[in-house]
Structure 1
Amino acid sequence: MMGLRNLRVLYAVRFFGSLIPAYVIERLFWEERGMTIQMVVYTEIIFAVTVVLLELPAGIIADRRSRKRMLVLASLLGCFEFLILVYATSFWHFALAVFLAAVGRSAGSGAENALLYDSLQEAGREKSFEQVLGRLNAVDITSTMLAAMCGSFLAGLCGYELNYWISLASSLAALCFTFMLVGPAASGGAEGEKSIPIGASIAGAVRFFKRNRRVMPVMLSGMVTGASLNFIDEFWQLYLDRIGIPAAAFGLFSASIFLLRLPGNLLAYKLKTRMGSGPLLTAVTAVLAAGFLYLSMARNVSGLAAIFLICLAGGVIEPLAAGYLHHRIDSSMRATMDSFQSLGLNAALIAIGLGFGYFSSRWDVFGGYGFVGLLCLAFCVYFAFASSKL
């Protein structure tokens, strides 16, 4: 069946799309080329603003035209991103690469989950969406770990730039596999339909939220916690550098924090059955709040335990939030609604990034993590009340 073929191809796309050894030394490479923490935060904001502006139109195009084409575009832009970074020497070079990455992210984020769900639906396996998404994320994580271990070794042996050339080659491989995807019949003919105005699609999304008021707290939880986790992924290298851990250990550490996300991704569907979505997400948010606050205060190796705990708890977030949404929406607007989730996450990233950048400029990365911890704590209190009705 075409649906099952898509699953195999998506595994390959995820593997090569995550086999990016550049990420393990990214902050050091950027810092070496003159990028300060504040500049990095500015690029994060450029990324988030671009995604906020393009995410919803991209989701609508994916629903109305072709999800495969949007995934091909995302992979193509990923190749250009690394090509630019190899030669980047100024802030605007990095900003352009981040902008292209954001356009690619907008093109692919809603389209991938929509294609996955409809492929499963065609095979009669849509109830296993959280399980399969968790396995896709597990492939993603395994590939990231492999890239981190190899990238750390190669960086110490050959310098940072080689990792970016290898990342470009892996991105090209992912692009080749996206051409093998097909639009499943389970999409109900959504792809290729006559164009519907963006305003009508947005109105349909608003009606969906009015009819399904319980969805919004879960989506907000995914947005806030997902944005918060981003600051672990983006700045753990600086944290380790500040507490005196050498770059030679970065590969092992990077592999460890991604390995810790595997259990959550693989077991999210079982935890949801036993605990329920509301209590589970409340517990995860509380763990994140405690972990970030500890990171801001413990400026020594004990902070690594807090990072490990944050990553362990954070593994359940994406399958849980995405599954809660996709089980409740129609195929004709699946990518559009998934794009709403990504749009909100990046809006949260902008807001949190402004605070993170401000406090980091005053108290280094420790102050930034303290701000994120207080924000997670405040949201945890809200969500504990809101989730009682889930």
Structure 2
Amino acid sequence: MGWAALSGTVPFYSLYALLFTHAGLTGTQISALFAIWSVVGVLAQVPAGVVADRYSRRGALVAGALLEAGGYGLWLGLPSFPGFAAGFALWGISVALISGTVEALLYDGLAGSGADGHFATVFGRVEAAGLLATIPGALAGGALLRIGGYPLVGWVSVACCLAVAALAYRLPEPPRGGATEPPCGGVTEPGCGGVTEPGCDADERSRRLPDAGEAPDHAGRGSYLAMLRTGLAEILTRAPLRAAVLLAAALGGVDAIDEYFPLMAAGWGVPAALVPVAVLGIPLAGAAGSAAGPVLAGAGRGAMAAVLVVAGLALGAAALVHRPVALAAVAVFYALYRLVLVLVDTRLQERIASGARATVTSVAGLGTDAASVGLFAAWAAGGLPVIAALVLAIGVALPRALRRSPVPAARVGATPR
């Protein structure tokens, strides 16, 4: 959680768009920079996940932080469009290296100590720490800007990234044995994986444990292409995992709505000077929702779907009220949404049965990027009501996406050759 908290306190996060304006860039140029960032991140998403699986997940986190620091250094040394573009390219690769790797490292670390059932609790706290850290980071950014301008903000951001890299280097990287599919076809339902579903007996569970003499995954992970094939083959051949990847991607894309929170507040009559304060409660609510994931950790698909439907209704109600008080409904939506997002990410990790965990999670991350573009299009087409309808649709589809496979899939080999 210390790594997640420090990662979120980078003061540049709340100010880099203003830096571009300060440097004289036009709106078109700034949009082009964001496009470069997004395209590089999308192109690097899956390859970065394969690198993390093939070589070192801890190393991927270290490299990601160092690349982000290098990107900020380019911004400070070359404050022009080419420098900003190169910096964004490095940052895009950094995001790709970190995306999926954190979940994989955390899940396998817990599984190695027999505590994988606590993934929702720990991952929820990590997500909450990251969200909460953005608040002091933004406050620090404003103070640093007043004291030393953008150069001071930038170099403190570089220092934060280097500290994040140092923390990542100290993270343990457990041996990757043959991760097995959890009981009951890879879905934790009431009574599965700590709560046993009817028909999920001890014999079935024992058949899913690694062989006693099985070599750990780190002893021979094969080539880069072999690891890539392992991850993609697992998604393509196992319907329960494929459904979980699609669900995680669709639900993760909804998180891009945070880009519109300030616009909502301003459009509902909040004075511009008060917008930052008015929307402060939304990430706080999201952090609370992420941390509350364990409350529903053992819940079934129906309960998760119900929570997401309530979240969609809260967002729809905010759209109807269309006044500053509606921000409270947006906060309720975000808390419930983040709670379900943690649980869906947990279900995804539980269904991955090979050593290509970061690769599979990165494929879901690639889908999230695509879904985010869809959310931007939905906002352009109809604003908040359309997004609320999308959330409701995902909630309705959730039980089917997380249904238990009627025939448990065979364990996928952990070591590609």
* Length-normalised TM-score, structure 2: 0.74
Is the 8 Å Cα contact of residues 308 and 391 (structure 2) preserved in structure 1? no
- Structure 1 distance, partners of 2:24, 2:396, is 40
- Structure 2 distance, partners of 1:78, 1:132, is 25
Does the alignment pair 1:245 with 2:245? no
Compare 185-194 and 252-261 and name the one that shifted more: 185-194
Is the 8 Å Cα contact of residues 24 and 254 (structure 1) preserved in structure 2? no
State the Cα RMSD in Å: 3.4
Aligned to 2:308: 284
- Structure 2 distance, partners of 1:186, 1:51, is 26
Alignment match of 2:355 (pick from 332, 346, 349): 332
* Partner deviation per Cα, 1:204-238 (whole Å, 9 max, x = no partner): 53345533x33444433332232222231x34344
1:152-167 aligned at under 5 Å gives the runs: 152-155=142-145, 162-167=152-157
- Structure 1 distance, partners of 2:70, 2:261, is 26
Displacement of 1:260 in angstroms is 0.9
Does the alignment pair 1:76 with 2:62? no
Q: CA 1:369/1:96 → structure 2, altered by over 3 Å: closer, same or farther?
A: farther
Aligned to 2:253: 227
Aligned to 2:391: 376
Compare 317-326 and 45-54 and name the one that shifted more: 45-54
Displacement of 1:62 in angstroms is 1.5
Aligned to 1:16: 6
Is the 8 Å Cα contact of residues 74 and 83 (structure 2) preserved in structure 1? yes
Aligned to 1:195: 222
* Partner deviation per Cα, 1:87-106 (whole Å, 9 max, x = no partner): 67555544433322221111
* Length-normalised TM-score, structure 1: 0.79
* Partner deviation per Cα, 1:282-308 (whole Å, 9 max, x = no partner): 5325524751x5666665423422431
- Structure 1 distance, partners of 2:367, 2:383, is 21
SS of 1:301's equivalent in the other structure is: coil
Does the alignment pair 1:115 with 2:140? no
Is the 8 Å Cα contact of residues 48 and 349 (structure 1) preserved in structure 2? no
Displacement of 1:133 in angstroms is 0.9
Structure 1 runs not aligned, ≥5 long: 1-10, 360-366
- Structure 2 distance, partners of 1:31, 1:299, is 30
Q: CA 1:281/1:377 → structure 2, altered by over 3 Å: closer, same or farther?
A: closer
- Structure 2 distance, partners of 1:92, 1:181, is 35
Q: CA 1:71/1:254 → structure 2, altered by over 3 Å: closer, same or farther?
A: farther
- Structure 2 distance, partners of 1:31, 1:246, is 18
Q: CA 1:289/1:203 → structure 2, altered by over 3 Å: closer, same or farther?
A: farther
SS of 1:261's equivalent in the other structure is: helix
Report the AA paired with residue 308 of structure 2.
V
Aligned to 1:147: 137
SS of 2:14's equivalent in the other structure is: helix
Q: CA 1:302/1:253 → structure 2, altered by over 3 Å: closer, same or farther?
A: closer
Is the 8 Å Cα contact of residues 311 and 332 (structure 2) preserved in structure 1? yes
Q: CA 1:385/1:133 → structure 2, altered by over 3 Å: closer, same or farther?
A: closer
Displacement of 1:383 in angstroms is 3.9
Is the 8 Å Cα contact of residues 293 and 343 (structure 2) preserved in structure 1? yes
- Structure 2 distance, partners of 1:313, 1:40, is 33
Q: CA 1:44/1:138 → structure 2, altered by over 3 Å: closer, same or farther?
A: same
Aligned to 1:181: 171
Report the AA paired with residue 265 of structure 1.
S
Q: CA 1:248/1:162 → structure 2, altered by over 3 Å: closer, same or farther?
A: farther
Does the alignment pair 1:307 with 2:330? yes
Displacement of 1:114 in angstroms is 1.6
Report the AA paired with residue 391 of structure 2.
C
Does the alignment pair 1:210 with 2:234? no
Q: CA 1:306/1:31 → structure 2, altered by over 3 Å: closer, same or farther?
A: farther
Report the AA paired with residue 316 of structure 1.
L
The count of aligned residue pairs is 367
SS of 2:173's equivalent in the other structure is: coil
Q: CA 1:282/1:343 → structure 2, altered by over 3 Å: closer, same or farther?
A: farther
- Structure 2 distance, partners of 1:220, 1:122, is 27
Q: CA 1:342/1:297 → structure 2, altered by over 3 Å: closer, same or farther?
A: same
* Partner deviation per Cα, 1:52-102 (whole Å, 9 max, x = no partner): 322222222211211122111101111123233446755554443332222
- Structure of greater Rg: 2
Alignment match of 2:286 (pick from 246, 258, 261): 261
More helix by share: 1
Aligned to 2:370: 347
Aligned to 2:198: none
Displacement of 1:125 in angstroms is 1.4
Compare 302-311 and 132-141 and name the one that shifted more: 302-311
Is the 8 Å Cα contact of residues 133 and 319 (structure 1) preserved in structure 2? yes
Structure 2 runs not aligned, ≥5 long: 179-215, 406-417
Q: CA 1:92/1:118 → structure 2, altered by over 3 Å: closer, same or farther?
A: same
Q: CA 1:385/1:180 → structure 2, altered by over 3 Å: closer, same or farther?
A: closer
